Amino acid sequence: NEEGVIINGMRTRQNYFNQPLTSNLERIEVIKGPASATFSSVDPGGSINLVTKKPLPQQRREISISGGSFSTFRGALDFTGPMDEGKTLLYRLNVGYENSKSFRDLQFRKGYIIAPSFSYIPNNKTSLSIELVVNNSNSRLDRGQAIFGATASQTDLNSTPIRFNMGASNDKFNTRDIMLMANFSHKLGKNLSFNLAYMKQDWNEDLVEHRTNNAFALDENSQPIRSLAGMIAVQRQQKFSTENLSPYFSLSANSFGVEHQIVAGYDRISTQKLRGGGSSTAQGYRLKDGTVTPRYDAAKKDLYQFSIVNGVNAPVPNVEDFNLLNPSYTLKNLSDYTFTKTEIAPAYYLVNAVYLQDQVTVGRFKLTIGLRQEWYEDYANYQLATERKINFAKLLPRLGATFRINPQINAYATYLQGYQPQGNTSSLVITPPPSGSNFKPLESDLREFGIKSEWLDGNLMVNVA
């Protein structure tokens, strides 16, 4: 899900079809379970958190160059260290580059990432870090391998080679992603600390693609020509802007032999599909009067233009059919097509949430109790005269218990709820219906109990749930 990627615990808008370069990543965390398990905006079934590299107080420099199959070339640079003698100001610079082809004809990727980051640590109570990530990718969409007509129990996946591609040589899928992240932490006392995280991200797309319309070409009698695939040409440009703000307090307390670890915070997450985006689609069949119609009607064949293709009389398509038996990858002239133009309507969603959690420890027993209240706003046709808005609200409980049977074995039980409304900011929905009405919110309910154990000095883990 391109809208569900988390970076440093904050929601981002990420590339679909292409994976971002990972030169600036320290690790990738797989978080299973409902959203309330981590008290942030993630998918109810779980999510993936990408953790970026942070500046180090030690001087380190690394340059790597690698090559591989499909003409793959990668280069990376990782420099880090202190910028002053007191090591209060640290830096890290990650740079990555990739130039690669693919096992699929016409597919390629050229991209780079530049990620400078700085940390200011004046004392053992306060720290401030700022990080900028610029990620640029030029490639083509890979819609997969087309095969000849499939019938029940007779699908031949080898009817075309795995390298088979139905695109054009001048297709493109170019994206640019810029992120600014900041994190501030301060200890207000021995047991009380304050943290503030912020992220601002802009994501841009520039797309041109030729792809199948999922049907064979037709002859003059509307019968499929199984050696020709119908085609669509698409041009699309759009921009997204995402912001995250997450302040929280953490308090440790001990009263009457009972330890408390209390966390209270606020989340604000928003994504806006900016105005100015648009999509143009070319498909259908050409008429004698020079216009285009979406479908072919054999009963009105005298209205259509025709040509002889492989000895068959067929209506002339708006976008040339793709010959499955004799593929030809030529530069396509987009001005030859008649496009239907659509404005991508601006959209906006906003999540506000407050949460409180207490982890209580009494001897070998731990109890976690938490509540999260979310308010969700979803706007269609944002800031236009036809703007529509819908609101959701949800209270999410969390309850967990752990008992340490011995140093190696722990028994646990958990109850969690997850909730995520489905908005209209998806890049794949060009003309969304009224906001919030596409689908019902994603909801989950988890009840789990089990035993976790570690053996052989932590080298062997055995879990039963």
How would DSSP label each residue in 37-70? Answer: GTTSS--TTEEEEEEEP---SS-EEEEEEEEETT
447 CB-contact burial (10 Å; exposed 0-12 / middle 13-18 / buried 19+): exposed
Does residue 426 surpass a pLDDT of 60? no
Q: What percent of the chain has pLDDT over 90?
A: 65
Least confident of 15-19, 54-58, 429-433: 429-433
Between 153 and 177, the higher pLDDT residue: 177
In the chain, the amino acid numbered 79 is F
Averaged pLDDT, 323-330: 89
Query: Could you write out the DSSP letters of every residue in 277-318?
Result: -EEEEE-SEEBTTS-EESS--GGGGGGB-EEEETTEEEEPBS
Contact in structure between 348 and 301 (CB atoms under 8 Å): no
Give the model's pLDDT for residue 35. Answer: 43
pLDDT tens for 378-387 read 888 899 998 8
Backbone angles phi, psi at 36, to 5 degrees: -70, -10
Give the model's pLDDT for residue 203. Answer: 92
Give the model's pLDDT for residue 147. Answer: 75
Q: At the topology level of CATH, where does 6-283+318-464 sit?
A: Maltoporin; Chain A (2.40.170)
Averaged pLDDT, 256-266: 93
Question: Residue 119, Cα to own-chain centre: how many angstroms?
Answer: 27
Give the model's pLDDT for residue 158. Answer: 80
Does residue 17 surpass a pLDDT of 90? no
Give the model's pLDDT for residue 43. Answer: 58
CA distances from 219 to 4, 159, 453 (A): 44, 23, 67
Out of 37-41, 71-75, 447-451, give the one with best mean pLDDT. Answer: 71-75
Least confident of 94-108, 144-158, 182-196, 351-365: 144-158
Provide the mean pLDDT of the chain. 89
Does residue 206 surpass a pLDDT of 50? yes
Does residue 288 surpass a pLDDT of 60? yes
Question: Helix (H, G, I), strand (E, B), or coil: what is residue 151?
Answer: coil
The H helix count followed by the E strand count for the chain is: 0, 26
Averaged pLDDT, 429-445: 66
Averaged pLDDT, 375-395: 89
Three-class secondary structure assignment of 165-186: CCCCCCCEEEEEEEEEEEEEEE
Give the model's pLDDT for residue 19. Answer: 78
Q: Is the dihedral of CA 431, 435, 438, 444 positive or negative?
A: positive
Contact in structure between 231 and 210 (CB atoms under 8 Å): yes
Q: Which two tokens stand for residue 344?
A: 């991508």
Averaged pLDDT, 293-318: 94
pLDDT band at 1 (very low <50, low <70, confident <90, very high): very low
Rounded to two decimals, what is the model's pTM?
Answer: 0.86
d(CA 80, CA 145): 43
Give the model's pLDDT for residue 431. Answer: 52
CA distances from 181 to 87, 173, 178, 209 (A): 21, 26, 10, 33
Does residue 134 surpass a pLDDT of 70? yes
Give the model's pLDDT for residue 37. Answer: 44
Of 278, 246, 277, nearest to 263 by C-alpha is 246
